[in-house]
Amino acid sequence: MSSKRKCLSISDKKKIIEEIESGKKKKEVADSFKIPFSSLSIILKQKEAILNTTDAQSSRKKRRLSEFPRIEQCIFTWFNQVRQQNIPVSGILIKEKAKSYAEMFGISDFTASDGWLSNFKKRHNLVFKKICGKSASVDEGMCNDWQIILQDLLCEYDPKNVFNADETGLFFKCLPDRTLTFKNEKCHGGKLSKERVTLLLAVNMDGSEKLRPLFIGKSAKPRCFKNVKSLPVTYRNNKKSWMTIELWNEWLETLNNDMRKQHRKIIIFVDNCTAHNNPPTLSNVRIEFLPANTTSKLQPLDQGIIKNFKLSYRKEIVSEFLACLDNNDSPKVTVLTAIMISHKAWNNVTTQTIRNCFRKCGFVKTIDNEEEFPITLEVDTQHNTLSTVLDDQLTFEDYVAIHDDLAVCGSLTDDEIFASFNNEEGNDEENDEEESFEDPIVTSKEAKLGLHAVLSYLQRHDIDDSVFSSILNLDNTIDKVNLSSCKQSKISDFFKK
């Protein structure tokens, strides 16, 4: 007599994976969940797909696919946007919206029946609830009340496990001679949207760990990415180049997986941006929202960390611009250029600056009399020189502040939602740069010569021993990459066919 097959939910499968990663033996895990070893092996092979499953699907044992997936994707995106604005949504409204999207897709056999609505709600774990009350504006005393709450929260975590994350917009192509064009531009869309990106930056309280930035551009495959296989950031894209619920939740789930592997529990403080309002269930990351309308006082990244990042970014752009002027060349700033400069600028934000900004917001273990250093921005002398060349009356502070009103999230229109799930227009975002700047392919020999030139330059200056170690690591890396790219010849290759 055959035994009854046990059917595990996706949530159970996630628990199995977590126990295996925590170090438990496979046999013990299989026995505790009463499944055969072969089933455990299948679950581990499907690990990536299981971990990427949303919370709405985790309680279910099987994923039931919709007959009209594009319509449902549009409806679910629209529903999330409306819910963020606390607008009541009825079943009738969802059905009418679904019919509208069906017409846009040219699908004539779709019927927004009660049965379809019921299944749609089950597929996405939706329930209708009455919305009561409304958001109250924050009073001045809320910041003081928050400081007391914050102290209780900080008692549960070491400083290295307390993080702050925030998005910031960047006009990555903005050269010093174009500042007047971009100043005070909010850029919700249109022509200038091609000139902007959004970055998600996150750092911990003691400044010992800066998380890998999330870099959100417009093009799925910028031309400058040709032959590029590695980036120092996580690159994602959408038509608006801003943060969305999907990108935020993907970033959180990746962070949660990383923390689970490190056996760490962290808390991350974020603002009430609409993209943050529907986070997934996380095992190793706790989300804590800052009080509404108080981030200018209570968010560490807004106290000078982002400002210093942008200062460093602009200084690099100015240096690039001056170098081009000296060589009678026109400046070229691509998405790849922006990524590399952003990586350098983010690394240049000092530990002391980070600690000062956290301390200014009350992120200290106990209320003490520790000296608080002023957070200042260094004025760039190169920009002053450049202003003279271009007869530009703007200060460097003006140049850094051009992004202050840049939108980092918002709501998509019906046409934009439709376009994002319309396969016929799916390639519009690829290679969507006005100009094509492809870096020449560098051989391993040329890389070696360049590295030796850097070493020769540095040897004539007083530098730290760690720099020489870094150059040696680069030299070894070039050798390893060169070795891995070489194909081993087979004996059959020497015989003519």
29-48 residue pLDDT tens? 888 888 888 888 888 888 87
Domain boundary pick from 373, 401, 429: 401
Does 208 lie in the same domain as 103? Answer: no
Give residue-wise pLDDT tens across range 363-417. Answer: 987 544 455 555 555 545 555 555 554 445 555 555 555 555 556 666 667 776 7
Cβ atoms of 165 and 202 within 8 Å: the answer is yes
- Would you say residue 425 lies in a domain? no
Q: What is the mean pLDDT of the chain?
A: 77
Tell me the CATH number at 232: 3.30.420.10
> Of 369, 401, 433, which residue sits at a domain end?
401
Of residues 278 and 128, more confidently modeled: 278
Strand (E) or helix (H) holding 214: strand 214-217
The answer to whether 321 and 386 have CB atoms below 8 angstroms apart is yes
**pLDDT for position 379:** 47
CATH number of 36's domain = 1.10.10
Whether 477 and 381 map to the same domain: the answer is no
Q: Are strands 214-217 and 196-204 parallel, antiparallel or unpaired?
A: antiparallel
Residues 6 or more apart whose CB falls under 8 angstroms from that of 199 comprise 167, 168, 170, 213, 214, 215, 216, 233, 342
- The answer, yes or no, to whether residue 250 has pLDDT greater than 70, is yes
Amino acid at position 367, single letter: I
Tally of domains in the chain:
4
Looking at the fold, whether 162 and 304 belong to one and the same domain comes out as: yes
Span of 93-97, 241-245, 390-394 with lowest mean pLDDT: 390-394
Looking at the structure, tell me whether residues 300 and 341 fall in a common domain: yes
Read off the amino acid at residue 360: K
Are residue 26 and residue 86 in the same domain, yes or no?
no
- Based on the fold, state whether residues 282 and 252 are members of the same structural domain: yes
pLDDT single digits (tens) 282-335: 999 999 999 888 888 899 999 999 999 988 888 888 777 777 767 777 778 889
SS3 303: helix
Output the six-digit token pair for 198. Answer: 């959004």
153/199 same-domain check: yes
Q: Is residue 184 part of a domain?
A: no
Q: What is the pLDDT of residue 323?
A: 77
The predicted structure's pLDDT at residue 5: 58
Q: Is the pLDDT of residue 443 over 70?
A: yes
Does one domain contain both 150 and 298?
yes
Q: From CA 154, how far away is CA 267, in angstroms rounded?
A: 9
More confident residue, 93 or 397: 93
Same domain, 259 and 329: yes
pLDDT for residue 450 is more than 60: yes
Question: Is residue 349 pLDDT above 60, yes or no?
Answer: yes
Owning domain of residue 82: 69-124
For residues 75 and 78, what is the distance between their CA atoms, to the nearest angstrom? 5
Does any domain span residue 422?
Answer: no
Query: Is residue 53 located within the same domain as residue 148?
Result: no
